[in-house]
């Protein structure tokens, strides 16, 4: 009886215990779900970074009028792949309940966002080497296969939900776009090596033509001619840029159109899916653990898709407009002809030997047959993909061509215009320096004009930053006599071999001597150092010290310039002799192996002795200072006669990745030194080889052998050098 009465109590206790356990489990699940919205914020933040990077590339392209939009801020690398993996967290999360409107749209937006990102950084494939490309493609492939696999597992799971077929259509389409984008990536990567070699061969060929033209012009280069040389190399550098070559490819064009279609799919999903939910009587709330953060993901990624579509859409539109000029010039069969560089790498791989060492002949033959079968399949897929991309480009170009005929809008109508707007026949002749692949349509002259304007802009920027102090110093030089006078052969050598002279070392030494002269105002000395600031050591420029010797104190303690020169000469001589006495290493017997400070001390000794021999006791401090200023100006002017050769050498760069940067530097240097080139143009020695001025000793030897026939007479160090700086400038300007 007691047991019968207790049973209901026990049953109630069990039920209560189950309820308590269930509540605890529910509370635990809720606690575990509490941080999930913050994960959604993290996803949104990663999406913001990617979106800003894509927008920055678009802004950079519009600002520089480069409508093929190079990947400068958002490219195909480990960082971008890591960020994109974070943005795809929602589609690969199978634990979250994603049956609400916001969740479905967020999943679609994440997939479309990935497709848009891939279309944006596709051109960066052109600037990657093989190893980098293989690693990044492997990472991208693993990530996309994982995303697609998880997406279809989710689709299969929710297919039992009433009305699921009506809300998962866009997700299926979005995964299809991602998969096709991956295939296009692989297809484009197969052509990079072949197209790079082809463009490089054309670049070297055009460089030979340009160099032959430069030799005909001789060592004297007018500034206008030098501008044309820089433009030649700039056209070659830009049109041969690996990213530009990739942007002009048909697969990149098709990728741009596919990105536009993916964006339209997201727009359609935003319109249709809420209507489907409302029509079936379902609520439009959020059901997943991401809660309020789902809407943040949706809004941010939708905006990111809108911003990211700009670059691929303009690449597609620009390529279609460019192709418009070729409509009707080729037959339909020729338009869809597949060039050899698309399949060359696969064919080479198919005909090559196995990378594995297999001893058994039967297995080796089987592996070779399997590989050949696989590569034949890849060739067919490649052929089909390129053919379809060419067809897409042709249809797009025909569409815009007919619209232009109807005069609905005339964007790009001036592409075929020719005339003086592009700088005359001299600039139009630069079109032969355009580097193109086989089968590519010609680049419109409006695009070429933007290319020319960019290099002109760099030259103008250099003009605005011209070295005014250096130009003032160059005006003091009437000839190159300072190159011959700075070192007298009668000065006893401290070693059997003399170290070679550089251009900057004599200038530094003269500047130090000028500072050490007594009875010279600090303002004049500082002005001289500032004028030669590009080649003066930091210690001299900032602290007025030469190898720990205070030049200001030396000028205060010396009564005459002769005392200062003798003090500097003796100090330098002791420094060199101490070094030669302490070092027994046979390597140090060669002056080329000497430390920099010892070479500088040897230069100070020889130049100080040369000035002491030439000056005499009647030389005033002001006269000697003016003479040193002229010597510095002569040496700098002589060194700058090599500027045309330096500028053309900078233009020619072996690395495809660095050519644009190198030519920009040359254009900036041309603008920066244009006035100097005009000053020196009448002073150049016409019979001198353009490579000789690169070395001061060779130029000095040439001048000594020339016996001054092509130069003005050498002024003596005396009363004639006691003119003021203003008088020297006046002679230069009005003489």
Contact by Cβ (8 Å): 78, 139: yes
Q: Is residue 677 part of a domain?
A: no
- Same domain? 380 vs 417: yes
Contact by Cβ (8 Å): 93, 39: no
Q: Which of 306, 324, 342 finishes a domain?
A: 324
- List b or e across 671-693, with b for residues whose CB sees 16 or more CB atoms inside 10 angstroms: bbbbbbbebbeebbbeebebebb
Identify the residue with better confidence: 37 or 684: 37
In this predicted model, what pLDDT tens digit does every residue of 125-175 receive, in sequence order?
Answer: 988 888 899 999 999 999 999 999 988 888 887 776 655 666 778 889 999
Give the DSSP H/E element, type plus range, for residue 525. Answer: helix 522-531
Q: Is residue 88 part of a domain?
A: yes
* Helix, strand, coil content of the chain in percent (nearest 5): 75, 0, 25
- Binned at pLDDT 50, 70 and 90, residue 605 comes out as confident
- Same domain? 433 vs 519: no
- Same domain? 423 vs 504: no
The residue with tokens 């379902």 is 282
Give the residue numbers spanning the domain of 23.
Answer: 1-32
Q: Is residue 658 part of a domain?
A: no
Report the percent of the chain where pLDDT is more than 70. Answer: 74
Nearest Cα neighbor of 614 from 715, 688, 709, 710 is 715
Q: Is residue 301 part of a domain?
A: yes
Q: Is the pTM of this model over 0.85?
A: no
- Same domain? 344 vs 414: yes
The residue with tokens 């560089």 is 341
Q: Which of 607, 622, 640 finishes a domain?
A: 640
- Same domain? 364 vs 255: no
**H helices, E strands: number in the chain:** 31, 2
pLDDT at 434 over 80: yes
Number of domains in the chain: 4
193-207, 405-419, 674-688 — which is least confidently predicted? 405-419
Give the DSSP H/E element, type plus range, for residue 545. Answer: strand 545-546
Highest mean pLDDT pick, 178-187, 625-634, 700-709, 725-734? 178-187
- Same domain? 336 vs 320: no
pLDDT at 79: 93
pLDDT at 726 over 60: no
User: 452: how many CB neighbours lie within 10 A of its CB?
Assistant: 18
- Binned at pLDDT 50, 70 and 90, residue 421 comes out as very low
pLDDT at 532 over 90: no
pLDDT at 643: 83
Q: Is residue 718 part of a domain?
A: no
- Binned at pLDDT 50, 70 and 90, residue 708 comes out as very low
- Same domain? 73 vs 119: yes
pLDDT at 533 over 50: no
Q: Which of 291, 324, 357 finishes a domain?
A: 324
Q: Is residue 649 part of a domain?
A: no
Q: Is residue 234 part of a domain?
A: no
Q: Is residue 150 part of a domain?
A: yes
What is the pLDDT averaged over residues 40-61? Answer: 94
- Same domain? 486 vs 604: yes
Phi/psi of residue 549, nearest 5 degrees: -100, 120
- Same domain? 22 vs 50: no
pLDDT at 174: 93
pLDDT at 413: 42
pLDDT at 97: 64
Give the DSSP H/E element, type plus range, for residue 550. Answer: strand 549-550
What is the pLDDT averaged over residues 89-95? Answer: 82
Instruction: Say whether 64 sits in a helix, a strand or coil.
Output: coil
- Same domain? 320 vs 336: no
- Same domain? 176 vs 304: yes
CA distance 726 to 511: 19
What is the residue-averaged pLDDT of the chain?
78
* Residues composing the chain: 735
pLDDT at 707 over 60: no
- Same domain? 198 vs 295: yes
Q: Residue 678 is encoded by which pair of tokens?
A: 């005009």
15-29, 470-484, 492-506 — which is least confidently predicted? 15-29
CA angle in degrees (0–180, nearest 5) for 720-724-729: 100
439-448, 590-599, 720-729 — which is least confidently predicted? 720-729
């Amino acid at each position: 009886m007691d047991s019968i009465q207790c049973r209901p109590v026990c049953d109630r206790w069990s039920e209560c215990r189950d309820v308590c356990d269930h509540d605890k489990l529910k509370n635990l699940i809720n606690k575990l779900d509490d941080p999930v919205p913050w994960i959604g914020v993290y996803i949104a933040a990663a999406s913001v970074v990617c979106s800003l990077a894509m927008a920055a590339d678009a802004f950079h392209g519009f600002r520089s009028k480069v409508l093929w939009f190079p990947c400068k801020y958002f490219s195909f690398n480990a960082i971008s792949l890591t960020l994109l993996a974070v943005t795809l967290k929602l589609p690969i999360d199978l634990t979250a309940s994603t049956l609400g409107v916001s969740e479905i749209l967020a999943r679609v937006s994440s997939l479309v966002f990935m497709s848009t990102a891939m279309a944006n950084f596709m051109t960066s494939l052109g600037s990657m080497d093989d190893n980098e490309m293989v690693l990044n493609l492997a990472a991208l492939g693993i990530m996309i296969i994982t995303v697609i696999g998880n997406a279809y597992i989710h689709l299969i799971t929710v297919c039992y939900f009433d009305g699921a077929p009506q809300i998962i259509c866009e997700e299926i389409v979005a995964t299809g776009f991602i998969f096709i984008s991956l295939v296009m990536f692989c297809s484009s990567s197969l052509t990079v090596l072949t197209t790079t070699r082809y463009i490089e061969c054309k670049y070297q060929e055009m460089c030979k033509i340009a160099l032959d033209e430069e030799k005909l012009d001789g060592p004297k280069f007018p500034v206008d001619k030098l501008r044309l040389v820089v433009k030649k190399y700039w056209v070659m550098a830009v049109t041969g840029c690996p990213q530009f070559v990739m942007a002009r490819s048909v697969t990149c064009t098709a990728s741009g159109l596919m990105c536009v279609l993916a964006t339209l799919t997201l727009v359609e999903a935003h319109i249709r899916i809420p209507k489907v939910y409302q029509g079936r009587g379902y609520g439009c709330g959020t059901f997943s653990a991401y809660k309020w953060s789902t809407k943040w993901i949706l809004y941010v990624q939708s905006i990111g898709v809108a911003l990211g579509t700009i670059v691929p859409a303009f690449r597609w539109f620009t390529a279609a407009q460019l192709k418009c000029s070729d409509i009707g010039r080729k037959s339909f069969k020729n338009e869809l002809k597949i060039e050899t560089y698309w399949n060359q790498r696969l064919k080479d791989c198919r005909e090559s030997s196995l990378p594995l060492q297999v001893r058994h002949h039967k297995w080796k033959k089987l592996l070779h047959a399997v590989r050949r079968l696989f590569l034949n399949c890849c060739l067919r897929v490649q052929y089909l993909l390129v053919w379809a991309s060419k067809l897409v480009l042709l249809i797009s170009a025909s569409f815009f061509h007919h619209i232009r005929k109807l005069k609905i809008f005339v964007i790009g109508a001036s592409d075929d215009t020719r005339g003086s707007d592009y700088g005359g026949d001299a600039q139009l002749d630069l079109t032969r320096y355009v580097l193109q692949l086989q089968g590519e349509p010609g680049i419109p002259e409006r695009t070429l004009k933007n290319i020319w304007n960019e290099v002109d802009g760099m030259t103008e920027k250099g003009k605005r930053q011209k070295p005014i102090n250096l130009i003032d110093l160059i005006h003091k030089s009437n000839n190159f006599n300072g190159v011959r006078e700075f070192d007298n052969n009668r000065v006893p050598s401290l070693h059997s071999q003399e170290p070679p002279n550089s251009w900057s070392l004599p200038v530094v030494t003269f500047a130090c001597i000028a500072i050490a002269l007594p009875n010279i105002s600090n303002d004049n000395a500082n002005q001289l150092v500032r004028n030669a600031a590009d080649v003066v050591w930091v210690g001299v420029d900032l602290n007025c010290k030469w190898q720990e010797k205070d030049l200001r104190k030396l000028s205060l303690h010396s009564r005459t310039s002769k005392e200062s020169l003798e003090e500097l000469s003796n100090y330098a001589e002791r420094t060199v002799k101490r070094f030669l006495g302490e070092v027994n290493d046979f390597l140090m017997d060669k002056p080329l192996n000497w430390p920099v400070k010892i070479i500088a001390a040897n230069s100070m000794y020889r130049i100080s002795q040369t000035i002491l021999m030439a000056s005499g006791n009647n030389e005033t401090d002001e006269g000697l200072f003016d003479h040193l200023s002229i010597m510095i100006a002569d040496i700098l002017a002589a060194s700058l006669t090599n500027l045309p050769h330096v500028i053309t050498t900078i233009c020619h760069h072996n690395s495809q990745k660095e050519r644009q940067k190198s030519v920009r530097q040359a254009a900036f240097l041309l603008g920066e030194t244009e006035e100097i080139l005009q000053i020196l143009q009448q002073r150049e020695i016409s019979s001198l080889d353009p490579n000789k001025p690169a070395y001061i000793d060779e130029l000095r030897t040439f001048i000594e052998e020339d016996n001054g026939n092509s130069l003005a007479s050498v002024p003596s160090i005396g009363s004639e050098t006691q003119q003021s700086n203003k008088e020297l400038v006046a002679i230069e300007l009005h003489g």
